[in-house]
Chains A and B, each alone.
Chain A
Amino acid sequence: RGAGGAGGKAGAAAGPSPLTVSPPQALVDDTEDVSLDLGSEEELALRKAAIRHPLATFFHLFFRVSAIITYLFCDWFSNSFVACFVTILLLLSFDFWSVKNVTGRLLVGLRWWNQIDEDGKSHWMFEAKRVPTIAASTEAEARIFWLGLIICPVIWTVFLFSTLFSLKLKWLALVIAGISLQTANLYGYIHCKLGGQKSISRVTSRFFVTADVPNRQTRRIPEDYTEQYGKTGT
């Protein structure tokens, strides 16, 4: 991704002229903070808030915790095994879908999915959003996200062993479904976080990467990002 990477706002020092290629300057001046153009009160408030996506954070935890609570206290809610089974299964499915498609990209800017190309081969893609925008996630949100993501599969594994040892085998199918769904999300996001470099570099070499970046994106280029995500070819 070329010259546009510096955006409209990169206050590159001592640039000779607008004709020059920006990337070398951006690299050289990466210790310099790029000034953000805070246009409005709203954006200022957004930046200061500890949690920028309250709904997403709520739903991220809501479905998983409800599933666990329903499983633990199903006898209080209803006498019917079927009702509990279906409820927990639906909660787990909604949780899987919302964490995979919504809260991941809103809270930590990561996304993973499966893509089948023309030859019918399936590829797993892992994407990480590197450019922080005004409405990007905060540390608090990221912490909530990862804690929720890690603790719940552990709890379901505990349930698995308790089901096995207490021989309440009719719940086994449900617990196994719970573990698979939650572990799948955990694995997918860890893979994104660690930077699926192979997938990213392979795909960017196939597709043309344009140079124009929307103005609202400004970049800070910390050193480690360069190391972690490597080079992209043109």
Chain B
Amino acid sequence: IPLQFAGLADVSISEDIPVEGEITVPVGAQSPEEDFSTLDEPVKDTIMRDLKAVGKKFVHVMYPKKSSALLRDWDLWGPLVLCVSLALMLQGGSADSKDDGGPQFAEVFVIIWFGAVVITLNSKLLGGTISFFQSLCVLGYCVMPLTVAMLVCRLVLLVGAGTVSFIIRLIVVVAMFGWSTLASTAFLADSQPPNRKALVVYPIFLFYFVISWMILTFTPQ
């Protein structure tokens, strides 16, 4: 009997024998048991989880305080929805609308996404520690105040298009522009070394300025 165990006495699991089994990659510090269930969770759970994450981020934009959780759990659904709604609302606002505002829609789209990509590249080249998609996520979500401003502008323009309405729109747009810039700077500037903060903030300022300009100069047919 001792003979049967003898061979096993010098078995060392970590070195000689390939230990096999399910390789589950625990998410965060969860046990493998929990992660196994994320791999097999019902689809409804996945959807709800992602929806809640998106909702949480919208709330974070409204009250921008430094929160690493927001940055770590990035997603691009919010930016997509915001970009599409902003582009839709900016429709039909120029003289030549024979293409039913086609080019304007794609223009807004390209400006927002291309602008966000360029800002991200800029901050990465300046040595930022934030990742590409995180930065896109933050910039996209911080378009929300400007989308609200667009909504307000359209409503105001329904009422009238005179000087008073222009002043109201100006105030609203300037306020939202400031909010957007401050919110995104709160998240992004911290990832930069101190002497480079202005270099990073300036393109963000310009980005939101261009969008605000498009919103302010919108005149419906």
Interface residues of A (CB under 8 A from B): 1-2, 4-5, 16, 20-21, 23-24, 26-27, 79-82, 85-86, 89-90, 93, 97, 101-102, 105, 109, 111, 114-116, 120-122, 125, 127-131, 170, 173-174, 199-200, 203-204, 207, 209-210, 212-214, 217, 219, 221, 225-226, 229-234
Contacts and interface: CB of A to CB of B under 8 A. Distances in A.
B8 interface: yes
Contact residues on B (Cβ < 8 Å of other chain), bracket: 35 or more
A24 B11 contact: yes
B18 A2 contact: no
Given A116-B71, A127-B39, A24 B17 contact: yes
Interface stretch (B30-38, B167-175, B178-186, B207-215): B30-38
Contact of A230 (B18, B77, B84): B18
Given A89-B84, A170-B102, A114 B25 contact: no
Contact of B18 (A89, A109, A226): A226
Interface in B17-57: 17-27, 29, 31-33, 36, 39-40, 43, 46, 50
14 contacts: A1-B23, A16-B5, A79-B100, A82-B105, A97-B50, A101-B50, A105-B39, A116-B131, A129-B39, A130-B23, A199-B25, A203-B26, A207-B29, A232-B20
Contacts of B134: 116, 122
B29 A120 contact: no
B43 A102 contact: yes
Given A102-B43, A226-B18, A2 B13 contact: yes
B127 interface: no
Contacts of B99: 81
A231 B39 contact: no
Contacts of B17: 23-24, 27
Contacts of A125: 25
B25 A85 contact: no
B24 A127 contact: yes
B150 to A, nearest CB: 16
B130 A173 contact: no
B33 A16 contact: no
Nearest to B28: A115
Contacts of A230: 18
A109 B100 CA distance: 45
Given A90-B84, A102-B43, A102-B46, 14 more contacts: A1-B20, A1-B21, A5-B20, A21-B13, A82-B100, A82-B105, A97-B77, A105-B39, A116-B72, A120-B71, A120-B191, A122-B131, A204-B23, A231-B19
Contact of B22 (A121, A217, A226, A231): A217
Contacts of B11: 21, 24
Nearest to B103: A170
Contact of B20 (A101, A111, A221): A221
B80 to A, nearest CB: 6
Contacts of B157: none
B195 interface: no
Q: Shortest 8 CB-CB distances between A and B: which pairs?
A: A1-B21, A5-B21, A81-B102, A122-B131, A116-B72, A231-B18, A131-B22, A16-B4
Contacts of B46: 101-102
Interface in B74-88: 74, 77, 80, 84, 88
Contacts of A225: 20
A120 B25 CA distance: 19
A107 to B, nearest CB: 12
Contacts of A102: 43, 46
Contact of B19 (A23, A97, A170): A23
A213 B101 contact: no
A184 to B, nearest CB: 11
Q: Which interface residue of B32, B74, B101 has the most chain A CB atoms within 10 A? A: B32
B122 interface: no
A85 B23 contact: no
A234 B25 contact: no
A123 to B, nearest CB: 10
Contacts of A226: 18, 20
